[in-house]
């Protein structure tokens, strides 16, 4: 291409570059100022030396790190197993609610009732009821380990949320898609399987990953049943050193675990094709 | 299958002697208090192109959706090849599989490539082996001039191309009748021609079609019979020359005046 920008365009570009430099400078200054104020406010507070000693002890952090990391590995495994189970159960629930016909009335009613109940129950109550109630039944085949019961409670609660995400996705597919599929002779089930679900699942991937982030944190709640996960390990280390630093270490580890997930969600949500019509704005940048 | 479909179109009796391929008798359809079809009757014979005209809301789309069993009729009978398809005991999926429907907004499946849009029904509904379904799909895409776009996704195509894919998708199962619901209304004026000339070509192969349209030029050129829908019934019917050039009914004249400006 033999195009060279006109003088007017060069002048515009120069102006934009100078604005960009100015914006960067302003951002740096304001960030530094904010951090400085926050640090100053923290360190100049009267109790700071004691807080630093009991929450930010580098030696305790180093000593307790391996145990907490091992606990985190349990969180990761619980999260992975429950994520798979949640997606399966939630999809079954969402599909059950789309069934038509009088035969399926009990299935529909059960699925609706299940979602209503488990969306309303606080997770911590479900954990306590499942964790201490189920083994009390002394039934054959019911697991008694805190990890298995904790995972079960997570699956019970989260599949209710995720079922609603799937259902929203299914309902977001325009009825004309179903009309087109049915007009070709596809059955209701075939239309769901081959036309509605593929589109629905693509649309709900960002909110699903969002729930996965929440799950990764809530996996720490199984510690109340006695499972030695990162939170429980931090508790033990805290007691051992009579110092709260292990909690901070566990917190940092959880954040480090969820940040990649969060960023991945953002990227997916932005990627064209996932969000349909909005993709035409991608790359357009902010309007002046 | 009626004898009319097997016969070579060149050797057929005058159309009036054929039993109707599709017979709509006294069909009523209401949405709440709004009566859209009020005892409408209409016969379509094999190889005939029947064009439905009428104001927006006159029931053209509703009639086509009732014939394709996408809506249940409130009363009346629809017969396809002598079989009452409004009988609730009938397998509606099997009936729909014998009818091709093309929608105003194309309704292609956006997550499937063009070829997969066309092979979906043959594979799932008609049990065609994948290789055969693929060959059939490519052949019909060739007919609509889009074999080169087989691997494209619908949103990579122009509106006219998408509508031609939708026609191919309906055509591939060799339907007894094609229903076309304002298939050019969503297209840019310059793209209308490519779809209409495809329909003209399909008529020449003897395909039976019921076409709802606002394109009076197309109706004049292609229709064997034009039906003017008004107040939920066929208000006036006849050859394009009769209905479009010399309408007997005042309502028809008024409608034609309005749309031709």
Instruction: Report the CATH number at residue B214.
Output: 3.40.50.300
Whole-number Cα distances in Å, B53 to B29, B227, B244: 18, 6, 10
The strand ranges marked E within B67-195 are: 75-80, 83-84, 99-102, 177-181
Q: Is residue A242 assigned to a domain? A: yes
A115-134 in b/e form (b: 16+ CB < 10 A) is beebeeeebeebbeebbeeb
Characterize the bridge pairing of strands B49-53 and B225-230.
parallel
Domain shared by B160 and B191, yes or no? no
Domain shared by B142 and B186, yes or no? no
- Please compute the mean of the pLDDT values over residues B33-60 and round it to a whole number: 94
Q: Which of A258, A231, A14 is nearest to A124 (CA)?
A: A231
Hey, how many other C-beta atoms are within 10 angstroms of the C-beta on A209? 17
Q: Is the pLDDT of residue A129 over 80?
A: yes
Distance between alpha carbon B36 and the CA centroid of its chain, in Å?
Answer: 19
Across the interface, do B99 and A183 touch by the CB < 8 Å criterion? Answer: yes
Which domain-ending residue is among B148, B175, B202?
A: B175
Q: Is residue A16 assigned to a domain? A: no
Report the chain A residue with the minimal C-alpha distance to residue B69: A183
What span, in angstroms and rounded, lies between the C-alpha atoms of B92 and A186?
A: 10
Which domain-ending residue is among B121, B156, B175?
A: B175
What span, in angstroms and rounded, lies between the C-alpha atoms of A118 and A127?
A: 12
Domain shared by B92 and B201, yes or no? yes
Q: Is residue A21 assigned to a domain? A: no
Give the angle subtended at the CA of A134 by the CAs of A129 and A138, to the nearest 5°: 150
Q: Is residue A213 assigned to a domain? A: yes
Domain shared by B134 and B166, yes or no? yes
Residue B5's pLDDT is: 45
Domain enclosing residue B114, as ranges: 110-175
Report the chain B residue with the minimal C-alpha distance to residue A179: B70
Residue A189's pLDDT is: 93
Report the chain A residue with the minimal C-alpha distance to residue B121: A184
Q: Is residue B10 assigned to a domain? A: no
Across the interface, do B125 and A181 touch by the CB < 8 Å criterion? Answer: no
Residue B17's pLDDT is: 56
Collect all residues from A whose CB is shorter than 8 A from any CB in B. Answer: 176-177, 179-187, 190, 194-195, 198-199, 202
Q: Is the pLDDT of residue B55 over 60?
A: yes
Nearest CB to B124 within list A194, A199, A202 = A194
Number of domains in chain A: 1
Q: Is residue B126 assigned to a domain? A: yes
Residue A266's pLDDT is: 76
| Residue carrying the six token digits 């008529």 | B203
Domain shared by B188 and B93, yes or no? yes
Mean pLDDT across chain A: 89
User: B85, B133 in Cβ contact below 8 A?
Assistant: no
Q: Is residue B208 assigned to a domain? A: yes
Collect all residues from B whose CB is shorter than 8 A from any CB in A. Answer: 65, 68, 70, 93-94, 96-99, 101, 103, 105, 107-111, 120-121, 124-126, 169-170, 173
Nearest CB to A183 within list B101, B109, B124 = B101
Residue A113's pLDDT is: 95
CB pairs under 8 A between A and B: 60
Q: Is residue B22 assigned to a domain? A: no
Report the chain B residue with the minimal C-alpha distance to residue A199: B111
A1 confidence band (pLDDT: 50, 70, 90): low
Report the chain A residue with the minimal C-alpha distance to residue B180: A183
- Tell me the chain A residues in contact with residue B171 when contact means C-beta distances shorter than 8 Å: none
Nearest CB to A202 within list B101, B111, B124 = B111
- Which tokens in the block code for residue B67? 């014939």
The strand ranges marked E within B32-97 are: 34-44, 49-53, 75-80, 83-84
Q: Is the pLDDT of residue A277 over 50?
A: no
Q: Which of B206, B248, B227, B240 is nearest to B4 (CA)?
A: B206
Nearest CB to A183 within list B68, B94, B108 = B68
Give B25's strand partners. B77
User: pLDDT by residue (tens digit) across A200-258?
Assistant: 998 898 889 889 989 998 999 999 998 999 999 999 999 999 999 999 999 999 999 88
Percent of chain B with pLDDT over 70: 93
Which run of H or of E encompasses B226?
strand B225-230
Q: Cα(first)–Cα(last) distance of chain B, in Å?
A: 44
- Please compute the mean of the pLDDT values over residues A74-82 and round it to a whole number: 94
Q: Which of B63, B69, B79 is nearest to B29 (CA)?
A: B63
Mean pLDDT across chain B: 91
Distance of residue B251 Cα from the nearest chain A Cα, in angstroms = 32
- Tell me the chain B residues in contact with residue A177 when contact means C-beta distances shorter than 8 Å: 107, 109
User: pLDDT by residue (tens digit) across B71-109?
Assistant: 999 999 999 999 999 999 999 999 999 999 999 999 999
Domain shared by B57 and B162, yes or no? no
Q: Is residue A22 assigned to a domain? A: no
Nearest CB to A185 within list B96, B110, B111 = B96
Domain shared by B244 and B137, yes or no? no
Across the interface, do A181 and B109 touch by the CB < 8 Å criterion? Answer: yes
User: pLDDT by residue (tens digit) across A84-108?
Assistant: 999 999 999 999 998 888 999 999 9
Across the interface, do A184 and B110 touch by the CB < 8 Å criterion? Answer: no
Assign residue A267 the CATH number of its domain. 1.10.3720.10
Percent of chain A with pLDDT over 90: 71
Q: Report DSSP letters for chain A, one per residue.
A: ------HHHHHHHHHHHHHHHHHHHHHHHHHHHHHHHHHHHHHTSTTHHHHHHHH--HHHHHHHHHHHHHHHHHHHHHHHHHHHHHHHHHHHHHHHHH--SGGGHHHHHHHHHHHHHHHHS-HHHHHHIIIIIHHHT--TT----HHHHHHHHHHHHHHHHHHHHHHHHHHHS-HHHHHHHHHTT--HHHHIIIIIHHHHHHHHHHHHHHHHHHHHHHGGGGGGGT---HHHHHHHHHHHHT-SHHHHHHHHHHHHHHHHHHHHHHHHHHSTTTSGGGGGGTTS----
User: B113, B150 in Cβ contact below 8 A?
Assistant: yes
Domain shared by B166 and B197, yes or no? no
User: B24, B39 in Cβ contact below 8 A?
Assistant: no
Distance between alpha carbon B172 and the CA centroid of its chain, in Å?
Answer: 14
Distance of residue A129 Cα from the nearest chain B Cα, in angstroms = 43
Domain shared by B243 and B210, yes or no? yes
Residue A101's pLDDT is: 84
Axis crossing angle, helix A58-98 with helix A146-172, rounded to the nearest 10? 50
**Mutate which of B124, B140, B155 to disrupt the A interface (most A C-beta within 10 Å)?**
B124
Residue A136's pLDDT is: 83
Q: Is B248 exposed, middle or buried (0-12, 13-18, 19+ CB in 10 A)?
A: exposed
Residue B23's pLDDT is: 96
- Which tokens in the block code for residue A113? 């009732």
Domain shared by B140 and B93, yes or no? no
Across the interface, do A183 and B109 touch by the CB < 8 Å criterion? Answer: no
CA atoms within 13 A on the CB side of B123: 16
Domain shared by B135 and B260, yes or no? no
Number of domains in chain B: 2
Residue A15's pLDDT is: 94
Q: Is the pLDDT of residue B16 over 60?
A: no
- Which tokens in the block code for residue B74? 């409130």
Q: Is the pLDDT of residue B12 over 80?
A: no
Hey, how many other C-beta atoms are within 10 angstroms of the C-beta on A63? 17
Q: Which of B66, B234, B98 is nearest to B174 (CA)?
A: B98
Distance of residue B108 Cα from the nearest chain A Cα, in angstroms = 7
Q: Is residue A182 assigned to a domain? A: yes
Distance of residue A269 Cα from the nearest chain B Cα, in angstroms = 17
Residue A31's pLDDT is: 95
Beta sheet of B99-102, edge-to-edge order? B99-102, B177-181, B209-212, B49-53, B225-230, B233-238
Nearest CB to A185 within list B103, B111, B121 = B121
Q: SS3 letters for A66-100?
A: HHHHHHHHHHHHHHHHHHHHHHHHHHHHHHHHHCC
Residue B1's pLDDT is: 42
Q: Is the pLDDT of residue B9 over 60?
A: no
A260 confidence band (pLDDT: 50, 70, 90): confident
Which domain-ending residue is among B155, B175, B195?
A: B175
Q: Is residue B156 assigned to a domain? A: yes
Whole-number Cα distances in Å, A135 to A18, A37, A118, A149, A154: 68, 53, 20, 9, 17
User: pLDDT by residue (tens digit) across A38-61?
Assistant: 999 988 999 999 989 999 999 999
Residue A281's pLDDT is: 37
Nearest CB to B111 within list A186, A187, A198 = A198
Question: What secondary structure letter does DSSP report for B21?
Answer: S
Distance of residue B165 Cα from the nearest chain A Cα, in angstroms = 13
Hey, how many other C-beta atoms are within 10 angstroms of the C-beta on B35? 15
Domain enclosing residue A105, as ranges: 55-272
Across the interface, do B97 and A180 touch by the CB < 8 Å criterion? Answer: no
CA atoms within 13 A on the CB side of B192: 14
- Which tokens in the block code for residue B40? 């409408």
Nearest CB to B121 within list A184, A198, A202 = A184
Q: Is residue A15 assigned to a domain? A: no
Hey, how many other C-beta atoms are within 10 angstroms of the C-beta on B39? 13
Distance of residue B208 Cα from the nearest chain A Cα, in angstroms = 17
Q: Is residue B259 assigned to a domain? A: yes
Q: Is residue A36 assigned to a domain? A: no
Q: Is residue B158 assigned to a domain? A: yes
Distance of residue A283 Cα from the nearest chain B Cα, in angstroms = 18
Across the interface, do B125 and A185 touch by the CB < 8 Å criterion? Answer: yes
Domain shared by B144 and B198, yes or no? no
Report the chain B residue with the minimal C-alpha distance to residue A183: B96
């Amino acid at each position: 291409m033999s195009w060279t920008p006109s003088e007017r365009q060069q002048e515009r570009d120069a102006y934009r570059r100078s604005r960009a430099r100015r914006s960067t400078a302003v951002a740096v200054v304001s960030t530094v100022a904010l951090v400085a104020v926050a640090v100053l406010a923290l360190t100049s507070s009267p109790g700071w030396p004691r807080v630093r000693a009991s929450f930010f002890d580098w030696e305790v952090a180093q000593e307790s790190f391996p145990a907490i990391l091992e606990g985190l590995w349990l969180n990761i495994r619980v999260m992975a197993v429950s994520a798979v189970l949640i997606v399966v159960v939630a999809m079954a629930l969402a599909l059950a609610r789309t069934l038509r016909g009088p035969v399926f009335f009990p299935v529909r009613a059960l699925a609706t009732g299940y979602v209503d109940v488990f969306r309303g129950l606080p997770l911590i109550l479900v954990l306590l009821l499942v964790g201490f109630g189920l083994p009390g039944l002394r039934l054959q085949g019911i697991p008694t380990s805190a990890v298995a019961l904790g995972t079960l409670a997570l699956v019970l609660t989260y599949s209710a949320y995720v079922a609603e995400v799937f259902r929203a996705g299914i309902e977001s597919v325009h009825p004309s898609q179903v009309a087109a599929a049915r007009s070709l002779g596809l059955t209701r089930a075939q239309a769901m399987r081959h036309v509605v679900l593929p589109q629905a699942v693509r649309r709900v991937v960002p909110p699903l990953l969002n729930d996965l982030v929440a799950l990764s944190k809530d996996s720490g709640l199984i510690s109340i049943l006695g499972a030695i996960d990162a939170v429980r390990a931090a508790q033990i280390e805290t007691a051992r050193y009579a110092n709260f630093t292990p909690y901070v270490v566990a917190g940092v580890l959880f954040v480090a675990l969820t940040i990649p997930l969060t960023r991945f969600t953002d990227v997916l949500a932005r990627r064209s094709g996932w969000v349909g019509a909005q993709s035409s704005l991608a790359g357009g940048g902010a309007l002046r | 299958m009626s004898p009319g479909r097997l016969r070579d179109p060149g050797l057929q009796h005058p159309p009036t002697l054929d039993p109707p391929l599709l017979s709509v008798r006294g069909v009523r359809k209401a949405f709440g208090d709004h009566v859209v079809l009020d005892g409408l009757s209409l016969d379509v014979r094999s190889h005939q192109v029947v064009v439905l005209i009428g104001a927006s809301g006159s029931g053209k789309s509703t009639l086509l959706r009732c014939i394709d069993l996408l809506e249940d009729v409130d009363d009346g009978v629809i017969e396809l090849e002598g079989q009452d398809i409004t009988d609730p005991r009938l397998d509606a999926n099997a009936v729909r599989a014998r009818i091709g429907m093309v929608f105003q907004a194309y309704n292609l499946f956006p997550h499937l490539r063009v070829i997969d849009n066309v092979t979906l029904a043959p594979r799932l509904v008609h049990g065609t082996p994948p290789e055969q379904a693929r060959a059939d799909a490519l052949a019909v895409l060739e007919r609509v001039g889009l074999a080169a776009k087989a691997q494209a996704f619908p949103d990579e195509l122009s509106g006219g191309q998408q509508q031609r894919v939708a026609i191919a998708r309906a055509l591939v199962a060799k339907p007894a009748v094609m229903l076309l619901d304002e298939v050019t209304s969503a297209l840019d004026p310059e793209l209308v021609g490519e779809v209409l000339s495809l329909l003209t070509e399909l008529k020449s192969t003897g395909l039976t079609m019921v076409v709802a349209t606002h394109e009076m030029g197309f109706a004049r050129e292609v229709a064997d019979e034009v039906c003017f829908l008004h107040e939920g019934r066929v208000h006036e019917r006849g050859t394009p020359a009769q209905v479009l050039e010399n309408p007997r009914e005042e309502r028809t004249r008024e409608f034609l005046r309005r749309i031709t400006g």
